[in-house]
Amino acid sequence: MNAITVEHLAHTYPARGRHTPERHAVRDISFSVATGQLVALLGPNGSGKSTTFQILSTIFAPTSGHARILEHDVVQHPEAARRALGVVFQNPSVDKKLTVEENLICQGHLYGLKGSLLQERMSAGLMRFRLSDRRHDGVETLSGGLRRRVELAKCLLHQPQVLLLDEPTTGLDPGARRDLWETLSEMRRQTGLTILVTTHLMEEAERCDQVIILNEGLLVAEGSPDALKREIGGDVIDIQTASPDRLCAQVNARFQMQALVLDGHVRMETPSGAEWIPKLAQAFPAEITAIRLSKPSLEDVFIKKTGFSFTTHE
């Protein structure tokens, strides 16, 4: 049984007056997440990942299609789906005027936890997220990274089987971001929890077992980071020049390549990039100002699937 199943999911936001036409945020996407996987829903702003997240977390129903958490349809059985879910939203959901412990107590009561069972769950969560010495501190005194840990401890009190996180590192400094991802990886290894994270950061997606790439509401690629990068079929060469369109045409005509112009640079893919650097430099010494050779990245996967760079869409 998959932890998450999405079948032909679509969602359209209705028009709001003459100046705000209807918007197709998600367009017939299907994917599944196996139990115990750490998965990234990757895409630039406006790609549909937040809408998909909101549907999976039962905030609203899709226009069409189906989504299930374990065997629970999020529309037909939202209560059962919610019991199986832990959710961390992009905007903080902890009460800053309460202490860490008071936030956990409130969350526990919402799920019917009380007495010794609640105390046991709270102590375990505080220890797991290294918050035991801050349990009586007001949340407003904590750093952004510590507040995220409180949110994780809070949403896991009822021991969900699936954890959804929407852009969880937003606003965190690099150290706190790294610490959060190490915590997620460790938690997944220890408990077998299924984790789905939405992100627009390539380096975060690289940490996951599976990456689902969305663009303009469409699913454009899916697979492990290594498998997706293997689709590039070699190295990536980026050429800087004053006349990218002209140089691109010359490269394609002379070497029968399929170079393209992207963000003002000439870009080409080849299985043996190192061999092409001297050939290009010798053939076009006056036109080329710089050449960069790199191994394929998830950015290159996005470019191959959409024809645009990730940063262009941001």
Q: Where in the chain is the domain with CATH 3.30.70.790?
A: 233-295
- Separation of first and last alpha carbons in the chain: 35
CATH fold for domain 4-224: Rossmann fold (3.40.50)
Q: Which tens digit of pLDDT belongs to each residue from 169-187? A: 888 888 888 988 998 888 8
SS3 state at 289: strand
Judged by DSSP in three states, 209 sits in: coil
- The C-alpha angle 28, 188, 128, rounded to 5 degrees, equals 130
Radius of gyration over alpha carbons of the chain, in Å?
23
Q: Got the DSSP string for 67-133?
A: EEETTEETTT-HHHHHHHEEEE-SS--S-TTSBHHHHHHHHHHHTT--HHHHHHHHHHHHHHTT-GG
pLDDT digit string, tens, across residues 280-312: 999 999 999 999 999 998 988 998 888 888 765
pLDDT digits (tens, 9 = 90+) for 117-159: 999 999 999 999 999 999 999 999 999 889 999 999 999 999 9
Give 17-55 pLDDT, tens digit per residue: 777 788 899 999 999 999 999 999 999 988 999 999 999
Q: How does pLDDT run across 86-111, given as a tens digit for each residue? A: 999 988 889 999 999 999 999 999 99
Looking at residue 143, what is its pLDDT? 92
CATH class of 233-295: alpha beta
Delimit the CATH 3.40.50.300 region(s) of the chain. 4-224
Residue 191 confidence (pLDDT) above 60: yes
* Angstrom distance (rounded) from CA 259 to CA 269: 7
Q: Write the pLDDT tens digit of every residue in 57-71.
A: 999 999 999 999 999
* CA neighbor of 201 nearest in space, from 167, 176, 171: 167
Confidence at residue 238, expressed as pLDDT on a 0 to 100 scale? 94
Q: Is 108 exposed, middle or buried (0-12, 13-18, 19+ CB in 10 A)?
A: buried
Phi, psi of 249 (to 5 degrees): -65, -40
